[in-house]
């Protein structure tokens, strides 16, 4: 049933661009094999704001169902979510899975201009069917892209599957940005709530600190930033003598662990941290803590 429903949704995607004022239109359903695009674990997750040409991206093009293949697919890249800026990167892909590698210099050459802070590149596929039809990944504004109705079903069939992926180049790190009042956006540890204010203090060109408000005798949490990737990190440290609601030792600690969640983005004036907090003898990993400058 899931497989049949997936094909139905893909067919609806093809037809969804019709306007009610177009008058009666003959309905022809096309059977469209599902194609996925995912970021390879070995890929760079972000484009370096210091040296964008050094970016080494890798995506994998695969099928939802191994025995259902299109005639071929063309890998396309859209710049800055602008459907008028779509370039074909590789044509005639017909074996699956197929890894697609791209460098920052190739992106610069393909679009004919430097990569600037805040730029994004979306990878998708145009699907070429045996009857000559082509299903477009990034159609003109107002039309429905391939697979938009199938994503939820696809995720149930193969968790984590998508029909397009994005690579972002954050703005270059600005240490002066990360100084002053920041507003909590998300705290999965739930000791703060959205809208709470936490003060950041600039330490130097690559470090800032903040105090977590529920720690007793708080110690500033020091965040180091790699300006080549805009990746923040917190080395394991004690953040106070206790939590306000739990005075028993040992003292609480905090650290970050590697994740795409870890990012400072001066374009958006945000920071996101993949936190591991400890309470007593318990450790609680992968809790997102994100804030935006007030």
Model pLDDT for residues 144-168, shown as the tens digit of each residue: 555 555 555 555 666 667 889 999 9
**What share of the chain has pLDDT > 70, as a percent?**
81
Q: What is the mean pLDDT of residues 28-32?
A: 60
Model pLDDT for residues 207-261, shown as the tens digit of each residue: 999 999 998 899 999 999 999 889 999 999 999 987 766 555 688 999 999 998 9
Q: Which domains does the chain have, with CATH numbers?
A: 2-168 (2.60.40.10), 180-293 (no CATH)
Q: What is the mean pLDDT of residues 181-190?
A: 97
Cα 192 from Cα 238, distance rounded (Å): 18
Q: What is the mean pLDDT of residues 174-179?
A: 97
* 51 has pLDDT over 70: yes
Look over the chain and give the mean of its residue pLDDT values, rounded to a whole number: 86
Give pLDDT, residue 204.
98
* 105 has pLDDT over 90: yes
The reported pTM is 0.69
Model pLDDT for residues 81-97, shown as the tens digit of each residue: 999 999 999 999 999 99
Model pLDDT for residues 109-134, shown as the tens digit of each residue: 999 999 998 899 999 999 999 989 99
Give pLDDT, residue 145.
57
Give pLDDT, residue 67.
87
Model pLDDT for residues 213-222, shown as the tens digit of each residue: 998 899 999 9
Give pLDDT, residue 4.
45
Cα 204 from Cα 184, distance rounded (Å): 23
Q: What is the mean pLDDT of residues 24-41?
A: 73
Tokens of 248: 């028993």
Give pLDDT, residue 243.
74
């Amino acid at each position: 049933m899931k497989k049949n429903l997936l094909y139905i949704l893909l067919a609806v995607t093809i037809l969804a661009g019709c306007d009610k004022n177009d008058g009666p239109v003959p309905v022809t359903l096309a059977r469209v094999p599902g194609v996925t695009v995912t970021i390879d674990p070995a890929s760079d997750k972000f484009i370096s704001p210091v040296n964008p040409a050094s970016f080494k991206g890798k995506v994998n093009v695969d099928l939802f169902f191994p025995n259902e293949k299109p005639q071929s697919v063309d890998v396309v890249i859209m710049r800055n979510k602008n459907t008028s800026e779509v370039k074909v990167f590789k044509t005639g892909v017909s074996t699956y899975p197929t890894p697609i590698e791209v460098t920052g210099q190739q992106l610069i050459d393909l679009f004919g201009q430097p990569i600037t802070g805040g730029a994004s590149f979306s990878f998708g596929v145009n699907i070429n069917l045996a009857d000559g039809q082509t299903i477009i990944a990034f159609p003109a504004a107002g039309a429905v892209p391939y697979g938009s109705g199938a994503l939820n079903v696809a995720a149930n069939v193969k968790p984590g599957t998508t029909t397009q992926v994005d690579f972002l180049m954050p703005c270059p790190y600005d240490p002066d940005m990360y100084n002053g009042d920041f507003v909590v956006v998300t705290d999965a540890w739930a000791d703060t709530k959205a809208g709470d204010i936490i003060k950041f203090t600039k330490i130097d060109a690559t470090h800032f600190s903040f105090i977590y408000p529920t720690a007793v005798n708080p110690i500033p949490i020091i965040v180091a930033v790699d300006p080549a990737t805009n990746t923040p990190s917190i080395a394991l440290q004690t953040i106070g003598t206790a939590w306000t609601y739990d005075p028993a030792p040992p003292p609480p600690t905090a650290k970050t662990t590697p994740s795409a969640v870890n990012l400072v983005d001066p374009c958006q004036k945000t920071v996101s941290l993949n936190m591991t907090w400890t309470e007593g003898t318990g450790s609680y990993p992968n809790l997102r803590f994100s804030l935006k400058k007030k």
